[in-house]
A and B are shown apart, each in its own frame.
Chain A
Amino acid sequence: MSQNDVPDTEAQTNAGGETRSDPDDSLVRTDVRATGSTGHGGSNETVVETRDLDVYYGDERAIDDVSMEIPEHQVTALIGPSGCGKSTFLRCVNRMNDLIDVARVEGTITLRGTDIYDSDVDPVALRRKVGMVFQKPNPFPKSIRDNVAYGLEVQGRDVTEDRIEESLRAAALWEEVKDQLDESGLALSGGQQQRLCIARAIAPDPEIVLMDEPTSALDPVAASKIEDLIDELVEDYTVVIVTHNMQQAARISDKTAVFLTGGELVEFDDTTTVFENPDDDRVEDYITGKFG
Chain B
Amino acid sequence: MAVERDTADSGFGEVSRIKGIAFRYLSFGASVIGILALAALLVYVFVDAFDLANASPEWLLTYFLTLVAPFIGFCLYSAGDRELLGRTVLALGGGLLGTAVAFEAIELLVRPIPRLTWPVAYLFVVAVPVVGYVLFAGAQKPVGRTGFGLLGRPVGGATLGTAVAMLFIVFDMRLWFLVYTLGIFPAGLVRAYGGLRGAGRLAGLSVPIGVVGVVAAAFLRNVIRTYPTSPLIFAWTFGVPIAFAAATLVGSRGASRESAAAVGVVSLVAAGLGTTLGSSALPDGSTVLVLAATVAPTATYLHRTVESGEGLSGLALPVLLGGGALAGAAIVGAFGIPAPDPWLDPGFVTEAPSRNAVEAGLYPAIVGSVIIIAIVALLSFVLGVGAAVFLEEYTADTGIVGGITRIIQINIANLAAVPSVVYGLLGLGLFANLLGFGFGTAVTASLTLSLLILPITVISAQEAIRSVPNDLRQASYGMGATRWQTTKNVVLPEALPGILTGTILALGRAIGETAPLIMIGAATTVFSAPNDVWSRFSAMPMQIFAWSDFPQAEFRYGVVAAGVVTLLIVLLSMNATAIIIRNKMERGT
Contact = CB atoms under 8 A, between A and B. Distances in A.
Interface of A: 94, 96, 99, 101-102, 124-129, 131-132, 134, 136, 138-142, 150-151, 153-155, 158-159, 184, 197, 200-201, 204
A126 B481 CA distance: 11
Interface in B480-521: 480-482, 485, 489-490, 493-494
A138 B471 contact: yes
A197 B478 CA distance: 11
A132 B482 contact: no
Interface string B436-480: 000000000000000000000000000000000101101111111
A158 to B, nearest CB: 7
B479 A127 contact: yes
A175 B346 CA distance: 62
Contact of B402 (A101, A134, A139): A101
A71 B62 CA distance: 89
B478 A154 contact: no
Given A134-B475, A141-B494, A102 B481 contact: no
A96 B471 CA distance: 12
B101 to A, nearest CB: 57
Contacts of A132: 478
10 contacts: A101-B398, A127-B478, A138-B472, A138-B475, A140-B489, A141-B472, A153-B489, A154-B479, A154-B481, A200-B475
**Interface residues on chain B, size class:** 20 to 34
B481 A124 contact: yes
Contacts, number: 74
A184 B493 CA distance: 14
Given A101-B396, A101-B399, A134 B478 contact: yes
A167 B472 CA distance: 20
Nearest to A142: B589
B478 A155 contact: no
B200 A150 contact: no
Given A127-B480, A158-B200, A200-B479, A134 B485 contact: no
B341 interface: no
A155 B272 CA distance: 47
A114 B480 CA distance: 18
Nearest to A125: B480
Contacts of A200: 475, 479
B471 A159 contact: no
A200 B52 CA distance: 65
Nearest 4 A-B pairs (CB), nearest first? Answer: A128-B480, A138-B471, A132-B478, A154-B481
A124 B478 contact: no
A150 B489 contact: yes
B345 interface: no
B397 interface: yes
Contact of A94 (B475, B478, B481, B482): B478
Contacts of A139: 475
Contact of B472 (A126, A127, A140): A140
A127 B477 contact: yes
Given A101-B396, A125-B480, A151-B479, A159 B472 contact: no
Contacts of B399: 101
A125 B398 CA distance: 26
Interface in B388-447: 396-399, 402
Contact of B589 (A141, A153, A155): A141
Given A101-B398, A101-B402, A158-B200, A201 B474 contact: no
A100 B477 CA distance: 12
B471 A204 contact: no
Nearest to A139: B475
Contacts of B469: 138
Interface in B262-299: none
Contacts of B396: 101
A118 to B, nearest CB: 18
Interface core residue of A139, A153, A154 (most chain B CB under 10 Å) = A154
